[in-house]
Structure 1
Amino acid sequence: MSPDLHAHAHDRAHAHDRAHSGRRPAVRNVPAHLLALRDQDFTGSVVVSSAPGGTIHLEHGLITAIETPGAPTAETLLLKSGRIGQADWAAAETTASSVGAGDLGAALVAQGSIGAAELEAVCASAVFDGAFALVLSPPGAWETVAAAPPAGLALRSGIEPKRLFEETARRTALLTRAWGPPGELARTRIRPTAVPAGVVVRMPARHREILAAATGRRTARDIGFALGRGVFAVLLDLVRMDARQLLHREPADTVPMAPSVAPRTAPGEPLPADTGQPLPRRVPGARTPGGAGSPGAPQ
């Protein structure tokens, strides 16, 4: 989602955009379009057609959710991680639907399933992760939908588009310096090496979970969905585990990659401090929650 990443994004907008562009100049890529929509205080969605593609939800120009097959949504993070049980989730859905266009997040908080600050942090984490997943493959066409249905679970405060672009570029550059092109690593299927039992006992619990989930057929995305963790957080752990020779990488599928925002340097640059937290617990700012690796930021 960085402007640099999408400098040669698809040069045409959908006919719907052209028909509704009246007073605004044409834009060449999704980031520029999102910045224009922020200026217009737009509420609706932008649908991106690529592999995997996705839907970017906006409220008054702020990004409140990103739904893409490339990364777990807030719902998946909460349910697959076991943070919220299926019964509690179903009860909240019933409550929300009983009042028409109800707020699922408010229902979850009201029934005591999760705190408001933690829910906001998880939703912010899902937005950042969804944006990161979108740039792992080349961009396609896009269209704007003003009357789009809202996301099932959204970040109420929203995120400034510029803040999202900056964090996505930072994540991409970090993984590029530490390992190489993140799109290649994201497509790599992982299986464990022959790890001595003593080593397994000493490693962090989330690394043991990754080893258990790494069947040789799963990518980082698949592991993220299986464990209820963000793709970026899984990739960071895969880099750490690969450095300890805990993983065997199967050849990556041949798929074109989006260009990196940073020059390729030798792998091995230190990664952010390993906090051991699979999900963030709070958001320090109302509109600009930070990115992984920064103070108080979501992973």
Structure 2
Amino acid sequence: MTGPSHDTAPPALPAAPTTPAPPTARNVPALLLALRRTEFTGSVTVSSTPGGTIHLEQGLVSAVETPGAPTAETLLLKSRRVGEQEWASAETAASTGRPADAPPARGGDLGTALVAQGTISAAELEAVCVAAAFDGAFALALSPPGSWETAEAAPPARIALRPGIEPERLFEETARRTALLTRLWGPPGELARIRIRPATRPESGAPRIPVRHREILAAATGRRTARDLAFTLGRGVFAVLVDIVRMDARHLLHREPAHPAPPAPSVAPRIPTNEPPPASTGPLPRRVRSGPGARGPGSPSGPSGPGHLPARPERAAAPDGPPNTHRAEHTARTETTEQSEKSTP
């Protein structure tokens, strides 16, 4: 009877599907171009200030969502192109017939529902989605990006542009807007951080103020930036910045000074309040000559207290030889000196 053979290999398991690693790139534009070549569908999350998410379908940009600019949903609701009741009806229609545990479909269902119920035309919805994507990309470019991360299972955009925008077209439009504002005013990033309020005395004899400028004047409270005004009015950040530059040239606005940064906390050691401050250092003490009549710190009339040096002690006798020998040498030198002084004419 023979035992089971151990040379037979177990049957190979089917290989698990692998997700291709995202391409390496030196910046976000290079990454989007690489994802376009691979027809990537998912999202790219950019970590910066304020950061945001770029949605891609087959490598095309379908939406750009960032806290720095209004999305297509915000533009439709804040501008009152779509009412709240119509929006709620479209949300219900977009979710009807989908199982509760099913993952959300790729973006665009809500926009399709809005068009199907006649709330907005397909051409107008496409124009709003394109404007929101361009404005979101411009808002991302106002600050240097940090890191980024790609994800295929990211939640889709609620309103997506189909077909999407080529990444190259997105870069060209962002560069054009940045160059325009730089030529008209200066760095767009600094302009976007300015808080404005209406001028006290507008330019005398100015022509009629356009409606969009009057809306900015009504919403400018001195605490709002261009980004705040864009969300309040339902407009793009770039369009608001262009209007601010033109209104500033007509002296219709007043720029609020930037708030100074809070001072850094002190790292110096603190002196307890219950202890007296240290005594101030005065001039150096005068040196007291030593001698038989010198007054030291122990004498009744001598200086005693802080700031006075003690009297210098007398020089000790030479350790070599007995004391009598040292005294005889001193007497001989004294007699020799007296004789030389007497012999001098």
State if a TM-score over 0.5 links the two structures: yes
Q: Secondary structure at the match of 1:56?
A: strand
State the partner residue of 2:338: none
Aligned 1:287-298 pairs, distance under 5 A: none
Q: Distance in 2 between matches of 1:199 and 1:239?
A: 19
2:68 alignment partner, SS class:
coil
Question: What is the DSSP-based 3-state SS (H/G/I as helix, E as strand, rest coil) of the residue aligned with 1:41?
Answer: coil
Pairing 1:171-250 to 2, within 5 Å after superposition = 171-195=177-201, 202-250=208-256
CA deviations 1:232-286 (Å, max 9, x no partner) are 000000011000000011134789xxxxxxxxxxxxxxxxxxxxxxxxxxxxxxx
User: Using the alignment, how far apart are the partners of 1:139 and 1:180 within structure 2?
Assistant: 20
| 1:21 partnered with 2:21 | yes
Match of 1:65 in 2: 63
Do 1:50 and 1:141's aligned partners in 2 also have CA atoms closer than 8 Å? yes
What is the alpha-carbon distance in structure 1 between the residues aligned to residue 41 and residue 205 of structure 2? 51
CA displacement, residues 61-86 of structure 1 (integer Å, 9 cap, x when unaligned): 00000000000000101100111111
1:208-241 Cα deviation digits (max 9, x unpaired) = 0000110000000000000000000000000110
Query: Over residues 160-200 of structure 1, what are the superposed CA-to-partner deviations in whole Å (9 max), with x where a residue is unaligned?
Result: 00110011011000000000000001010010002569979
Paired residue for 2:38?
40
- Higher relative contact order structure (alpha carbons within 8 Å, sequence separation ≥ 6): 1
Matched-pair contact (CA < 8 Å) for 2:40–2:56: yes
Whole-Å Cα distance in 2 between the matches of residues 120 and 242 of structure 1?
32
Residue correspondence of structure 1 range 108-147 to structure 2 within 5 A: 108-147=114-153
Q: Deviations over 1:3-42 (max 9, x none)?
A: xxxxxxxxxxxxxxxx8437x5x21111101000000000
| Distance in 1 (alpha carbons) for counterparts of 2:20 and 2:204 | 63
CA pair 44-76 structure 1, distance change in 2 beyond 3 A: same
- Structure 1 residue identity aligned to 2:113: A
| Shift of residue 154, structure 1, vs aligned partner | 1.0
The match for 1:264 is none
- Note if contact 1:184-1:252 (Cα within 8 Å) is conserved in structure 2: no
Kindly indicate whether the alpha-carbon contact (under 8 Å) linking 1:129 and 1:232 is maintained by their aligned counterparts in 2.
yes
Q: Is the contact made by 2:203 and 2:252 (CA closer than 8 Å) also made in structure 1?
A: no
Instruction: State the aligned residue count.
Output: 235
- The CA distance in 2 between the partners of 1:184 and 1:197, in whole Å, is 25
**Among 148, 152, 165, the residue aligned to 2:154:** 148
Contact 1:39/1:61 (<8 A) preserved: yes
Gaps of 5+ in 2: 1-18, 99-103, 262-345
Per mean C-alpha deviation after superposition, the further-off stretch among 193-202 and 40-49 is 193-202
**DSSP-derived class of the 1:218 partner:** coil
Q: Are the equivalent residues in 2 in contact too, given 1:45–1:57 (CA < 8 A)?
A: yes
Aligned match of 2:93: 95
What is the rounded CA distance, in whole Å, between the counterparts of 1:67 and 1:253 in structure 2?
Answer: 29
Q: Indicate the structure (1 or 2) with the bigger Cα radius of gyration.
A: 2
In 2, Cα distance between equivalents of 1:90 and 1:252: 41
RMSD: 2.0
Amino acid of the residue matched to residue 64 of structure 1? S
TM-score (norm 2): 0.65
Asked whether the 8 Å contact 1:188–1:253 carries over to 2, the reply is no
CA contact (8 A) 2:202 2:252 kept: no
Report what 1:6 is aligned to: none
Amino acid at match of 1:40: T
Q: Structure 1 residues 92, 245: closer, same or farther in 2, change over 3 A?
A: same
Distance across 2 between alignment mates of 1:98 and 1:58: 25
Compared with structure 1, are the counterparts of its residues 197 and 239 closer, same or farther at alpha carbon in structure 2 (3 Å cutoff)? Answer: closer
Equivalent position amino acid for 1:155 in 2: L
In the alignment, which residue of structure 2 is the partner of 1:284?
Answer: none
Displacement after TM superposition at 1:149 (Å): 1.4
What are the superposed Cα offsets for residues 50-104 of structure 1, whole Å, 9 maximum, x if unpaired?
A: 0100000000000000000000000101100111111100110111011334600
